[in-house]
Amino acid sequence: MNQIECNELAASLKKNRLMNYAPLITVFISGLFGLLVAILTWMMANRREKRKFKQDFAIQDLRAKEELYVSVLASLDKAIRKTESAEEFENHLEEFSLISAKVNLLSTEIINEKLTTASNNLFRWSSEYKRSHPKKISNTDLGYITNLDSDHRKKANKIYPDLMHSMIDLVNEIKKELQKIREETEK
């Protein structure tokens, strides 16, 4: 064998060796591509699950706050009605305190301020309004009204618009917060 034939044989062997590796290289590249596809699919599914979890949590938060705010407004309304009908609502004070505590923990600072203002106005109004009720005579159904009673009623009537205004402010702030939560839920 001469030199040329040896060189040709060597070149042929190198070419055959490379050809033997071609299927292996193809399998390796395909495997990498498959792995890349699997990783991307996993990441996209994970992101979708996180987004779904956040949305479900926001919906639960919205429902909980709606229920809480309905309880707050209903409690304030109940206190007004019981005061106007001369019923005692001292046995409901624990319920009012519990609702107020929940609102203080879960609400925004603005809603807490508006609730405090409404509660203070309710207290001022109900105190004057209760003092204006006729006083009972002993254990009878008879009562009497004095000039002081009418003065208390006048004071209560002056406070009442402030009470209603503070209640409206509270309702408006609650609506704003709930709308904000709804918008975040839809994202």
63-78 pLDDT per residue, tens: 999 999 999 999 999 9
- CA angle in degrees (0–180, nearest 5) for 14-17-22: 125
Has residue 1 got a pLDDT over 70?
Answer: no
Q: Can you state the percent helix, strand and coil of the chain, rounding each to 5?
A: 85, 0, 10
3-class DSSP assignment, residue 135? strand
Which tokens go with 153? 């009623």
Question: Residue 168: what pLDDT?
Answer: 96
Cβ neighbours of residue 86 closer than 8 Å, sequence gap 6 or more: 130, 133
3-class DSSP assignment, residue 143? strand
**pLDDT above 90: percentage of residues in the chain:** 39
Instruction: Say which range, 10-14, 24-28, 94-98, 166-170, has the weakest mean pLDDT.
Output: 10-14
Which tokens go with 81? 């009605």
State the Cα–Cα distance between residues 119 and 101, nearest whole angstrom.
13
Domain spans, the chain: 3-186
Average pLDDT, the chain: 84
Question: Residue 93: what pLDDT?
Answer: 78
